[in-house]
Amino acid sequence: MLFADVIGQERIKAHLLSSAKENRISHAQLFLGNEGYGTLPLVLAYAQYIMCLNPTESDACGECTACRKVSKLQHPDLHFVFPVVTRKDTDKPVSDHYINEWRNFIATQPYGNYNDWLDAISAENSQGIIRVDESREIIRKLNMKSYESEYKIMVIWYAEKMNAETANKLLKLLEEPPANTFFFLIAQSSEYLLTTILSRTQLVKVTRITEDELFLGIKKHHPMTDDKARELARLSEGSYLLAKEYISASVDTIQNFENFTQLMRLSYKGNFIELVKWVDEISKIGREKQKAFLTYSLRMVRENLVLNQQQKELVRMSTEEETFALRFSTFIHPNNTPLLNQELDKAYLHITRNANPKVVFLDVCIKLNRILKMG
């Protein structure tokens, strides 16, 4: 991938280009940013620029043998680690077992997220993890001589999915890697990364794509009027992934919206017979989709609060979401928003820790009933 293919992020591109041209690339970097901001595309473009045989001032050449191999994710000195699930043919899965799926995923969804990846590998209800066997593979690969390039690059996508044992085994290598070896870790949140990992990496904070940059990216990849592209850029909170969801009206987005409206209506009414039925249904969709729904719910609470406070120009909702919010936002105010966020955050944490989803969501419903009735 070229820097030209990355939507916006001009400041970070300039920083990465400068570090490469001045030969001051940090050996371990953590690219931290929300999904849809372009962390992985930036890292892929950075890796291609570093390995390019004929780089220009602003980008890799895209034509040399190294560029062709990197663009296909087939360069022998460019390695990838990402969350995987156990397969029938092995009980100790590592990323190499999924490399063909990974190449296809990046080719079709370079801005894809964790849930998109799990769907791509048919993970069903399994959670993707970076296990300790992966750390052994990383150590083995990076202790070998490079094949073609002057450099070896290890990209760890969703580094927060490393379990503690995996992360601990990498600490020494992160601190003292072999010569001309670079670690590029990618994460959404530093909360689930060991402090010892954070202390050994240089932070590259990837912020949201500006509205103007996102507008241009949408126009480049999706034929539509300027007015529609501008509206999507405004709604998408600096995330190209969210913009694509609005464009495609994906099943997940529609389902999240339907689940949110049902949860709030039933919770407010205290219709516990129907709530139990709703809890039974959402308990079947799998933990990752449950977490995605809770994340969506937190965003909708925030947007409804903004609308309640008469700040409509700051609202980031689709037409359907805003139609519902025009009525519902009267029940979301500064007094109850912190409590709503607290309960939804708590539910997300419990689902992450493998709590029984029926218990978690029924508890949320009961708590929301009390909170929404507050004056």
| Sequence spans of domains, the chain | 3-205, 249-372
Whether CATH 1.20.272 fits 249-372: yes
Is there a contact between 358 and 364 (Cβ–Cβ < 8 Å)?
Answer: no
* Nearest to 268, CA basis, from 345, 307, 324, 310: 324
Does residue 237 carry a pLDDT above 70? Answer: yes
Mean pLDDT across the stretch 179-193?
92
Does residue 250 carry a pLDDT above 60? Answer: no
Predicted structure pTM score: 0.71
**Region 3-205: CATH code:** 3.40.50.300
User: What is the C-alpha to C-alpha distance for residues 128 and 96, in angstroms, rounded to an integer?
Assistant: 14
Per-residue confidence (pLDDT) for residue 236, from 0 to 100? 84
Backbone angles phi, psi at 186, to 5 degrees: -125, 130
From residue 287, give the alpha-carbon distance in Å to each of 242, 282, 351. Answer: 20, 10, 7
Q: How many CA atoms lie within 13 A of 258 on its CB side?
A: 10
Residues in CB range of 332: below 8 A, 6 or more apart: 301, 304, 305, 308, 340
Backbone angles phi, psi at 189, to 5 degrees: -140, 140
The conformation of residue 126, written as its DSSP 8-state character, comes to P
Instruction: Give strand pairing partners of 30.
Output: 185, 203
Q: Do the domains 3-205 and 249-372 sit in the same CATH topology, yes or no? A: no
Record the tokens describing residue 125, joined without a space. Answer: 């209800």
Neighbours of 172 (CB within 10 A): 11
Strand-by-strand arrangement of the 181-187 sheet: 78-81, 152-157, 181-187, 28-32, 202-205
Is there a contact between 16 and 51 (Cβ–Cβ < 8 Å)?
Answer: no
Backbone angles phi, psi at 169, to 5 degrees: -70, -20
Each residue's pLDDT tens digit, 48-89:
999 999 999 999 999 999 999 999 999 999 999 999 998 777
From residue 87, give the alpha-carbon distance in Å to each of 91, 136, 242, 264. Answer: 7, 19, 30, 38
Each residue's pLDDT tens digit, 270-311:
888 999 999 999 999 888 889 889 988 998 999 899 988 887
Each residue's pLDDT tens digit, 124-158:
778 899 999 999 999 999 988 888 889 999 999 99
User: What is the C-alpha to C-alpha distance for residues 245 and 317, in angstroms, rounded to an integer?
Assistant: 12
The model's confidence at residue 249, banded by pLDDT at 50, 70 and 90, is low
